[in-house]
């Protein structure tokens, strides 16, 4: 797979996570009340890790090859060998640090995305990737797992 495509996919993923982060921070009165009623606490940060796509299945290998933290300072690369703190502390049913894991298929046309918000709150999604460069798009194909 061409390195430029891999980099474009990473930028797409990290841009999407940064947008998600901003949505947690920019909350109006209705959203704050809704979160309060549901017992949802926005995360302190989001840890993003890139993993190797394992075999033909939708499975991510260990250890991660790249890692980033997304918080109020933006997107910052961190060492992939830096241990995850287990999601931080548990607040209700959610961790204080959300984790997003992703892997790119060897042909560069599929992406596996795992969103872990708490011990029983997460989802694994498979996306089809189409386009090139700035026109690159993700389209959800399947729900791989849900908790």
Category of 15 on φ-ψ map: left (φ > 0), alpha (ψ -120 to 50) or beta: alpha
Category of 54 on φ-ψ map: left (φ > 0), alpha (ψ -120 to 50) or beta: beta
Domain boundaries, the chain: 3-146
pLDDT by residue (tens digit) across 103-143? 999 899 999 999 998 888 899 999 999 998 888 999 999 99
In this prediction, residue 41 has a pLDDT band, given cuts at 50, 70 and 90, of confident
pLDDT by residue (tens digit) across 46-61? 999 999 998 767 789 9
DSSP classification of residue 2: -
């Amino acid at each position: 797979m061409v390195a430029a495509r891999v980099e474009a996919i990473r930028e797409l993923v990290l841009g999407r996570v940064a947008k998600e982060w901003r949505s947690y921070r920019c909350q109006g009165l209705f959203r704050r009340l809704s979160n309060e009623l549901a017992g949802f606490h926005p995360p302190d940060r989001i840890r993003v890790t890139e993993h190797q796509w394992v075999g033909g299945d939708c499975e991510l290998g260990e250890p991660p090859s790249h890692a980033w933290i997304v918080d109020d300072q933006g997107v910052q690369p961190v060492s992939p060998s830096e241990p995850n703190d287990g999601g931080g502390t548990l607040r209700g049913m959610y961790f204080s640090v959300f984790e997003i894991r992703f892997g790119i298929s060897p042909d560069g046309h599929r992406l596996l995305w795992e969103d872990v918000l708490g011990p029983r709150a997460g989802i694994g999604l498979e996306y089809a990737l189409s386009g090139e460069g700035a026109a690159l798009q993700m389209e959800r194909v399947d729900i791989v797992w849900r908790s």
